[in-house]
Amino acid sequence: MLYPINTPSRMVFDLNGVWQFSLRRPGEPDDGPLQDPRPMPVPAAYNDIYPDAALRDHVGEAAYERTFTVSAPMLAGRLVLRFGGVAHRARVYVNGALAAEHLGGFLPFEAEIGSLVRLGENTLRVIADNTLTLETLPVGRLVETEYPGLGRVRENLPNFDFFNYAGILRPVVLYTTPETYISRIRVDPHTDGRVEYQVEWGGTGEAAPEIGVEVRNAQGDTVAAGTGAGGVLRVKDPILWEPGAGYLYRLAVRCRLDGAEDRYELPFGIRSVEVRGTQFLINGKPFYFKGFGKHEDSCIHGQGLDEAVNVKDLALMDWMGANSLRTSHYPYAEEMLRLCDAQGVVVIDELPAVGLHANFVATGLLDKNGTVNTWEQVKTTPHHREVLEKLVERDEHYACVVMWSIANEPAAEEEGAAEYFAPLCALARELDRQRRPVTIVTYEGCAPDTCKAAPLVDVLCVNRYFGWYNYCGRVDAGAAVLEDELRRWHEKYPDKPLMVCEYGADAVAGVHSLPSVMFSEEYQAEFLDTYHKVFDALPFFVGEQVWNFADFATAQNAMRVQGNKKGVFTRDRQPKAAAFLLRRRWRAIPDFGYKG
């Protein structure tokens, strides 16, 4: 699905702003008036906007409504309503008629609405449902508990460690296209200057449109051109997209039929990604990942898009010498990927597949009795395939994306994991024209000899907290166990690169202690420093991503102090002591060749 932009043939109209909003009771008809509506910003999660626990903790549906005006030029061709992301399930009505239904909070969807609108004022209503189940991604459990005197209470327990923010999280726009329009552009650029491309179109006509393509450089000069819906263009002496230097070309496409023309420009970078033995190569050079697992999370907006925060986060990463991030634990807004592409930030692009474990969650919320078979319980396969298809379609052209993460911390040690994941890994490789490496990020319960995901992936990505959740207060013991385990991973898989995608310790900003104790800034810094000595001793090791970039909101529980405090920055993006340690380290580590 193409990102909405203005072009000579397309107009984009912003529907963000303040909408009317109300929570809904189960069974309420979709078309009745909103009950006691109140203003609600879009995009934003609704949970933290009012001082109201019932709103913050609401389980179920909420309704948003606004009017919008349609002018005559908007009806000259197709009129499309597009949502960047609504968590997690949406029904969309235009003037009372159902225009779209969608499952999945972190990917865009759209509907052609030309036949549903009239000139002048129109009404748009969105019903957003935040319920997570054993069929959705992320995975959650809907439970009803009887409390004495309170009756039955519906709760939605997350199988994951971030707040289940809800609502219209990403931008809403209307855009126009001609009747025959460009529906998809695929690029597969090569470092020798060849750019394979393919253009798909939609429309009602029988005849094929004429397609023209041009590659423009960053100055806007045309450096290659061709015709036809698919082919190979040649860019002479290409400037490569590199970590830290996100040089972008644009593929300018024209699609002409019966005198009408659609035009679109797709930014893309020229670079290669390859796994060779234990090395992760970008442009043929061994790359070392330095960076973070993040969240889309900030004060007030919750998980809603906040472009100021996104720009600030990348500025802080640059200040630290970080070169990469993982979109833990769901696809991020495309606005962020566009920034990463332009700034040369390397991205591991993760599906919303978190919580695929019936016996484990970081906060210990689940029964750890080991008797439940995850792969018999969860019913996520169809949705998992669907989000993978949509993610590859949305993000395939981004040079910053160097690897697909199919899931975070699934029950990869349990029987059934290989059967669940093998087809998904195969599908990722089949769908992606650029054939990026594939990973599944695993947790401490998956050892080298029990992990059923490891044989399926190109890069071994592990999350480790030895010295935090276990060996409490013993960073030295944690690091010793870590080194032993990482070496065993390498012995078992000598031909696969290995990286740690999460390591970290909670630190409550302002808590200090000498000698250090858990939750102090000193302990967090020592924890990271001790892990780094292990990483530096391992030649087959390709990267370190700290958990987490910033403190973030979670469900309330006894393991969390107003959210997860493993941030190197506070939630309002002020540094803890660890930020300075990481800055010294990462500014001294080159992007390429650190491990030979």
Residue 374 engages ligand GCB in binding (rule: CB under 6 A): no
Distances (CA, A) of 254 to 229, 379, 433, 456, 482: 10, 43, 22, 40, 54
For ligand GCB, the closer of residues 62 and 482 by Cβ is: 482
CB of 506: closest distance to ligand GCB in angstroms? Answer: 7
409 a catalytic residue: yes
State the Cα–Cα distance between residues 498 and 539, nearest whole angstrom.
10
Per CB under 6 A, contacts with ligand GCB among 458-497 are: 463
Among 66, 566, 571, 576, binds ligand GCB (CB under 6 A): 566
- Which member of 502, 521, 522, 526 is catalytic? 502
For ligand GCB, the closer of residues 360 and 493 by Cβ is: 360
For ligand GCB, the closer of residues 182 and 482 by Cβ is: 482
CB of 363: closest distance to ligand GCB in angstroms? Answer: 7
Residue 564 engages ligand GCB in binding (rule: CB under 6 A): yes
CB of 542: closest distance to ligand GCB in angstroms? Answer: 19
Per CB under 6 A, contacts with ligand GCB among 156-215 are: 160-161
Phi, psi angles (nearest 5°) of residue 65: -145, 145
Residue 362 engages ligand GCB in binding (rule: CB under 6 A): yes
- Which member of 214, 296, 334, 409 is catalytic? 409
- In the numeric block, which tokens belong to residue 477? 């013991």
Per CB under 6 A, contacts with ligand GCB among 518-547 are: 547
State the Cα–Cα distance between residues 556 and 233, nearest whole angstrom.
54
Q: What is the DSSP string of 466-494?
A: BTTTBSTT-HHHHHHHHHHHHHHHHHH-T
Phi, psi angles (nearest 5°) of residue 468: -125, -75
What lies within 8 Å, CB to CB, of 99 at 6+ separation is: 81, 92, 93, 111, 113, 116
Torsion of CA 281, 222, 182, 102, to 10 degrees: 40
Position closest to ligand GCB via CB: 362
For ligand GCB, the closer of residues 249 and 292 by Cβ is: 292
Per CB under 6 A, contacts with ligand GCB among 27-86 are: none
For ligand GCB, the closer of residues 431 and 447 by Cβ is: 447
E-only strand ranges, 245-370: 249-257, 260-268, 273-276, 279-282, 285-286, 289-293, 324-326, 346-350
For ligand GCB, the closer of residues 129 and 350 by Cβ is: 350
Pairing of strands 401-408, 438-442: parallel
End-to-end CA distance of the chain: 39
Per CB under 6 A, contacts with ligand GCB among 137-166 are: 160-161
For ligand GCB, the closer of residues 337 and 446 by Cβ is: 446
Of 332, 392, 324, 315, nearest to 569 (Cα)?
A: 315
State the Cα–Cα distance between residues 201 and 31, nearest whole angstrom.
35
Per CB under 6 A, contacts with ligand GCB among 404-463 are: 408-409, 443, 463
Give the Cβ contact number of residue 11 at 10 Å: 18
| Count of residues in contact with ligand GCB, rule CB under 6 A | 12
CB of 508: closest distance to ligand GCB in angstroms? Answer: 14
CB of 53: closest distance to ligand GCB in angstroms? Answer: 23
Per CB under 6 A, contacts with ligand GCB among 290-319 are: none
386 a catalytic residue: no
CB of 424: closest distance to ligand GCB in angstroms? Answer: 19
Of 184, 206, 172, 209, nearest to 80 (Cα)?
A: 172
Instruction: State whether residue 390 is helix, strand or coil.
Output: helix
Residues forming contacts to ligand GCB in the complex (CB under 6 A) are 160-161, 329, 362, 408-409, 443, 463, 502, 547, 564, 566
* Residues annotated as catalytic (active site), given as ranges: 409, 502
